[in-house]
Amino acid sequence: MFKGVLVEDKLLYYQDQSNWSMSDFYNLNRYLNRLLNYESDLLDSMDLDKMSDITKVLLVANIKTRGAFYLLEKPNLSGLNEVNPLKERLNLEKDPINCYPIYDYYNVGW
Residue 109 · residue 92 · CB < 8 Å: yes
Whether 34 is in a domain gets the answer yes
The number of C-alpha atoms within 13 Å of 82 and in the hemisphere containing its C-beta is: 6
Q: What is the pLDDT of residues 35-66, one digit of tens each?
A: 998 877 889 999 999 999 999 999 999 999 99
Residue 1 maps to a domain:
no
How many domains are there within the chain? 1
Position 6 pLDDT exceeds 60? no
| Average pLDDT for 9-25 | 87
Structure letter (DSSP) for residue 57: H
pTM: 0.90
Phi-psi category of 67—alpha, beta or left, where left has phi over 0 and alpha has psi -120 to 50?
A: left
| Residue 84 covered by a domain | yes
The verdict on residue 71 lying in a domain is yes
Spatial separation of the C-alpha atoms in residues 16 and 2, rounded to whole Å = 22
- What residues have CB less than 8 Å from 16, skipping those under 6 apart? none
- Full domain range(s) for residue 62: 6-109
| Residue 1 pLDDT level (bands cut at 50, 70, 90) | very low
Residues 98 and 48: their CA atoms lie apart, in Å, by 26
The pLDDT value recorded for residue 10 is 65
Higher pLDDT, 38 or 87: 87
Q: For residue 62, give the amino acid letter.
A: N
Mean residue pLDDT of the chain comes to: 89
**Distant-in-sequence, close-in-space partners of 38: CB < 8 Å, separation ≥ 6:** 1, 2
**pLDDT (0 to 100) of residue 97:** 82
Residue 50 covered by a domain: yes
Of 10 and 85, the structure prediction assigns the larger pLDDT to 85
Q: Would you say 84 and 52 are in contact if contact means Cβ atoms under 8 Å apart?
A: no
* Residue 74, pLDDT above cutoff 70: yes
